[in-house]
Amino acid sequence: MPRYLGLLGVLTIMSGVGLSAVMAADSARKADGSWTFEIDERDHPGLSFSDTNNKTVFLVGCGHAFAIHAVYPGAPKKDGTKAAIAIANKHTQMTFAGEIDSGYEDDPPNTTHFLQWDLGYRRQDPNLYEKKWHRLENRLFDLLDSGQPLTISAEGKSYVLPAVNAPQWRQRFQKIC
């Protein structure tokens, strides 16, 4: 009988640790706003999440290059500093290496801006926009199109975006790019 009590104690501690991790994840800032899919005047598609002040928090776009822009949840950094973000839902996570950028007029005030071009491929890479690149693009689109909230994280800090709900964004995006 004492052996089972020891096991019960270990399970109780492990459950508490697991619950603490879940509670920590749940304490991530939840962003209020909305998703939109737009095609700009140059026929470039963009899927974005804007906050309630119409400031862009997250954007995936395609034009002369494929871009991921996001408010960086980690500590502020100088322009050009290498950085990485993770985008995750409850089943999948992808990490993107990029850099800090000065951002744009429509970014939320007092935020640091993350930017990655071409899913990390160099412009001279012969595999850019080929089969392997498109598999990575599809993984990202599967993650974004999962119907689940998305957690954007870096350096142990994060924020949560609601599930993407822009109608038919993926089909329209991929038709153009």
> With bands split at pLDDT 50, 70 and 90, how would you rate the model's confidence at 28?
low
The verdict on 68 and 8 lying in the same domain is: no
The verdict on 1 and 71 lying in the same domain is: no
Average pLDDT for 29-38: 90
Asked whether the predicted pLDDT for residue 32 surpasses 70, the reply is yes
Asked whether the predicted pLDDT for residue 13 surpasses 80, the reply is no
pLDDT digits (tens, 9 = 90+) for 71-113: 999 999 999 999 999 999 999 999 999 999 988 889 999 999 9
Asked whether the predicted pLDDT for residue 17 surpasses 50, the reply is no
Name the residue range of residue 72's domain: 31-176
The verdict on 142 and 55 lying in the same domain is: yes
Domain count for the chain, please give it: 2
The verdict on 142 and 73 lying in the same domain is: yes
64: which residues sit within 8 A by CB, 6+ positions away?
none
SS (H, E, C) 45-113: EEEEEEECCCCEEEEEEECCCEEEEEEECCCCCCCCCEEEEEEECCCCEEEEEEEEECCCCCCCCCCEE
The verdict on 24 and 35 lying in the same domain is: no
Percentage of residues of the chain with pLDDT beyond 90: 77
The verdict on 147 and 63 lying in the same domain is: yes
The verdict on 14 and 35 lying in the same domain is: no
Helix (H) / strand (E) containing 157: strand 157-161
Q: In the beta sheet, which residues pair with residue 70? A: 58, 114
The verdict on 6 and 63 lying in the same domain is: no
Q: What is the structure's pLDDT at 177?
A: 86
66-72, strands of its sheet edge to edge: 29-30, 157-161, 150-154, 82-88, 93-101, 112-117, 66-72, 56-62, 45-51, 33-39
The verdict on 132 and 76 lying in the same domain is: yes
